[in-house]
């Protein structure tokens, strides 16, 4: 078997995975063409919508590989780049990488009744710009950010030296009128769904500061992971591998 022939075999294997996954999820009782399946899946799952153009191109090349042959030999052999592309897309759509595989970790947090000075020292020591904040019953209060702290200190500049030793984290939240957008997802959430959530808030003219990962996606469960804007380049690198 030549290397080029191996390319076509790999391409068709990945294509079969994609086609089989769409067929399984649509569960139609009648025949549906490949392009119609793409159209339906793009409405059912935004992850498919992200790759519509590529999926359509894969369908065209699959037809060329299967139907255009001379003496039984494939005429339209795909380049390695195309093989890597379809294998990557097939992997992302049939076995999407999960948040738990990349962001399951101990989450540093603070409590609303802690002294602000103590929390600021921890943030500086660990180079954190934000900390999830809870009450002692583990109810989520919000995201304490360096922006919120700066705003609080600036608004109390006249007596900051006297009051800072006694200020609690809760007082910062009480004076912060900005909405620090946070959403909650489960550990089973795919990386593509996390990216989509960040992108969705941008289209709404908002800024999502963090995605908190908990066991069931509840805001008042123990945080098991956190994804912030600074993590997006790493996620994009993972999901766009071989697609650029």
Q: What is the pLDDT of residue 166?
A: 78
Position 160 scores a pLDDT of 59
What lies within 8 Å, CB to CB, of 7 at 6+ separation is 77, 78, 79, 80, 82, 83
Q: What is the pLDDT of residue 1?
A: 46
Q: Are 133 and 210 in contact (CB under 8 A)?
A: no
The pTM of the full predicted model, rounded to 2 decimals, is 0.79
Predicted local distance difference test score (pLDDT) of residue 165: 67
Dist. CA 157–CA 4, nearest whole Å: 70
Give exposure, 209-244, as e/b (b: 16+ Cβ within 10 Å).
bbbbbbeeeeeebebbbbbbeebeeebeebbeeeee
User: Buried (b) or exposed (e) across 100-122, using 16+ Cβ within 10 A?
Assistant: eebbeeebebbbbebebeebbee
Per run of 10 residues, the mean pLDDT along the chain (length 244 residues) is 71 95 91 93 92 94 76 69 94 94 93 94 92 94 91 74 75 77 94 94 88 94 94 90 70
């Amino acid at each position: 078997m030549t290397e080029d022939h191996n390319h076509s075999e790999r391409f068709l294997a990945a294509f079969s995975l994609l086609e089989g996954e769409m067929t399984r999820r649509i569960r139609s009782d009648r025949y549906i063409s490949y392009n119609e399946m793409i159209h339906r899946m793009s409405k059912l799952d935004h992850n498919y919508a992200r790759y519509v153009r590529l999926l359509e191109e894969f369908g065209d090349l699959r037809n060329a590989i299967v139907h255009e042959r001379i003496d039984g030999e494939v005429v339209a052999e795909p380049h390695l780049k195309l093989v890597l592309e379809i294998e990557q897309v097939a992997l992302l759509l049939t076995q999407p990488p999960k948040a738990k595989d990349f962001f399951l970790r101990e989450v540093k947090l603070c409590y609303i009744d802690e002294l602000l000075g103590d929390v600021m020292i921890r943030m500086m020591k660990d180079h954190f710009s934000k900390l999830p904040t809870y009450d002692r019953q583990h109810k989520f209060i919000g995201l304490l950010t360096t922006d919120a702290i700066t705003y609080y200190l600036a608004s109390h500049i006249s007596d900051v030296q006297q009051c800072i030793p006694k200020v609690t984290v809760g007082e910062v939240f009480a004076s912060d009128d900005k909405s620090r957008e946070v959403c909650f997802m489960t550990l089973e959430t795919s990386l593509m769904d996390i990216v989509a959530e960040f992108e969705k808030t941008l289209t709404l003219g908002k800024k999502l500061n963090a995605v908190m990962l908990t066991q069931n996606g509840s805001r008042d469960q123990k945080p098991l992971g956190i994804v912030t804007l600074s993590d997006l380049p790493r996620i994009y690198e993972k999901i766009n591998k071989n697609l650029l």
